[in-house]
Structure formats: structure tokens, C-alpha cells
Structure 1
Amino acid sequence: MGASCSAPVSSTIKKNWRDHPPSSYSLKIHNFSQLEKTTSFSGHKYQSRLFSSGDITGNVKDNGSGFISMYVELDSSSLMESKPPTEVFAELRFFVYNKKQNKYFTKDVEIKRFDALKMVWGLPKGNECEFGVDVIVAPPLTNWEILSFHDEKLSYPKVTWSVKNFSQWKENECSKPNRFSIGGREWVLKLFPKGNSRAKGKYLSVFLYLADNETLKPDEKIFTQVVVRILNPLGSNHVASRLNYWHKGSNFGYGWCKFLSLDKIRKTYLDKEDTLMIEAEFEVVSATKFSTII
């Protein structure tokens, strides 16, 4: 089962402080302001990797404007694995760590039923309550992830390539992939000097991939913010475009089929030796650490 973020819905809620961390899942974010910027490219939401509680699977999400909202979403496959599909009752407890107090602020929500018709619960309000007591010994935290962003700490964030004999390249012909290492990952830049099939021989095509040896774990994501430039041999008036992208396990490349027209390249951006210079500058690369049991 998982927790995520959404506009709160009304319910019976208990607020409290406690010293020990959550026992089901913990999501720690380094540089929260950077996460706010990057989630603008994913619907203003961040969804954690799947985790299990009581043989039920879900994940953590957050969204909202001006506030952090949290809710719990049940993974639908958890219900379908039961024959027949069943329902799940769960007591929800949301946590926010207060660094100044060195404690966790908690909000406890009454037990809720998850089924095929109701997969998500947040912080609901209601006028009914039931008094009772459960004694629960919380196990140690073994399921967690830490999301961080390499930005100012990136060493050698720029990589430059030269495409020689530019005029001799053919349409849909790809240059030898340029492999390089930045932010602890291996990357590949693929160039089609006369464009790929969608550019129709009129534009330069540029794409960035994770290298084949970079295998992402299930639900793992990497965010990159990269500026790609076509360099003017005179040293000014470069052409630049920025890529913002979350890489996932499918490892599809991203970039432009029509980065810059060949007419503009021939007119301004080739040197006397018919060489085109291209530069990629990484501004942000995310990294995620997680527990080994995931």
C-alpha cells in the first residue's frame, strides 16, 4: 500500500508528534525547491516507487499548489491477484518530519476500505467515530528512497562534438553515437546531420539517451535538464534549446527531430573546413537511493 498527495477530503483526524520514523515507507527529498521545478514537467506530481504493506502494493504521490498534499493509492493489481477480487481495510497515518523539533508530525485517519470502486483515500472529514485501542509494534524502517538533484555540484557539465564533412552526410544517416559520463551515469548523444526520417532532409536531428549499460530498476526515474547548442564558429549567436525530461526504464531517447534547419546551418554555423560544432550542457541530473529490498 502507498501514500500520495492530493487535496484533502474531510474526515476524523488525530494530530500528534512522535520520535520514531514511519514503518511502511519513507520518502526523503534533497533540494525540495528543485523538485517543485522538475514536477512542472510531470503534472506537478511526484510518485514514489511501489512498496508493500500487508501484502498490498501502492505508492506515494504528491501534488498541489502552495501546499503539499498527500494521499494513499492502492495498486489495482493487488486486488486482482485475489480470487475473487477483494477489499482491503487500512488505517492511514501521514508523517511530516520537523527538523527543528527532530520529531515527526503525524495525522491519523480512521480505518478506510479500499476496493475496486475506491482506490484512493486522503485526509477525509466525517462526523462518526469509534473508540478503541490497537497495540501495534512498528517494525524498523526497511523500505525507503532518497531523491536528490545534482546541479551546482556537477563537474565538467559540458560536452562538445564536431561533425566533420557536414555537407557529405546523407538523409537519415546517424553519426557514431557519442558516449560520455555525467552525474554518475553514462549517456549517448545521437546526431542525424541531415535529419532522421521525420525531418525529411531539411533539419538537423538531435537525441539524448541513457547508455545501454545503464539499467534502471523498476519504477526508477532520472530527471535531466540539458541545454543543447549549435556553436557559431565566430564565437557568438549560438543556437540553444533546453531539454527537460524524466528518463524511465524503457530508455526512450528524447530530443528534436527538427533542431535547426539545414539552410541556417549552411549559412551561419559551418566553419571553413565544413565542420559543425555541437555542445550539450547538463544543468540538472537527479539521483535516487533506495533500500535494497525494493
Structure 2
Amino acid sequence: RLVLYPSGDKKRNGKGHISLYVTMVDTETLPSVWEVHVDLKLFVYDHKEDKYLTIQDANGSVCRFHEMETENGFAQLLPLDIFKDDFNGYLVDDCCAFGAEIFVIKGTCRMDSFPRAKEHVPYYTYTWEIKKFSALLLDSYDSKEFTAGGMKWKLRIYPQGHSTSSGLMISGFLALMDRQTLPLHSKVCAEYKLPIKNKDQSKHKEKKGNVIF
């Protein structure tokens, strides 16, 4: 589905612009580890010329959707002053139209499509204690770097939520820090648990899953 920010997605530097994203839905029906690569184009309809303005990544980069990133698009799709200018034909009689073209290059994949490690990699536990949480003002915060499974990682939280969860709940992610050191075309498959501890142990919250980096 398309997600539109008429006044700009300020959390992703979209102030003063129209922001538009494509979000994958019904991902719970996909395998526990999945990844989809797409060639994505977004469109804004020009009523005067009866044609669409096409916006895509200038470098031709492929968009990557996966369990931890189900949304891709442009925070700065079109400046608001250009969009609202009658001369340009994008907003006519208070009506506008947007579209998307999605070409799937690489579909979903399962954990069992990757070679299994010959030796069991032990679980690693890292605890990140955050003090004065109510005073956090930035969009996101990173933990200190830690090593697990021979790779370097960080935890990243968005106190006010991220993407479609913005303003609704805390968002937390596991980030691989040394991806550039991997051999060409190599992937890292990680099984993780992200718990939030409560003083009352019966009220701990936990999210778990698998992800490919």
C-alpha cells in the first residue's frame, strides 16, 4: 500500500515536501526469514499534461524489503511549493493522484536455503540500560557496539516509534555494524530476541524472530 505524508515526514527529513512510501502488508504470511528486492518507481499525476511525473532513486538502487524494514520510498518526493502551485498541475481543484510501479527482482527466501553452520554459535546476551527515558528528544538512539557470533552489532531504538509505528509505540532494531567486511554476496542470518524488562518479571515483553543482513 502507499503511505502519504501531505505535510512531509519530518522524522525522516521530509519537512517542506510531499513524502510517499510503499509499505508491504500481510508479511505475517511470509517465511520467518524473508527478503524482497524491488525496482521501485513512484508517480505524481500532472493534470495539465495528462501524464505522470516519475520519481526513482537517482543511482538506480534496488529497494530492499525485509522483516525489519517493510517500508521504502522518498521523504522528499516533491517540494510542497511546487506541488501546490496551480501552474504545475499536480494539485487541481484540491485533488491529486499518486501511483507506484513495483518490479520484484528477488523474492522471499527461507532460512533453510542457506548453508547451516558446522558448529553451533552460542547465544549472546547484551543488556542496554537506558536512564531518563522520558527526557530522550532525538528520533533514534544507538547502544554501544557489542560482538556476537564474530560480528559487531548495535541496538537501535526509536522512542516515539518508527515508520508506520510512529507515535504509537517504541520501535527497536538490531543493526549489523560491519556488513562491509563480509565477502561479496555473503549474508548473515541472525536469530534474535528483543526483550524489554519490567521490574515485575511477570510483565516482561519480548519480540523474537530471524533476519537476513
Q: Which category of TM-score, normalised to the shorter sequence, fits these structures?
A: 0.3 to 0.5
Q: In proportion to residue count, which structure has more helix?
A: 2
Q: TM-score, normalised by structure 1?
A: 0.31
Q: In proportion to residue count, which structure has more strand?
A: 1
- Rg larger in 1 or in 2? 1
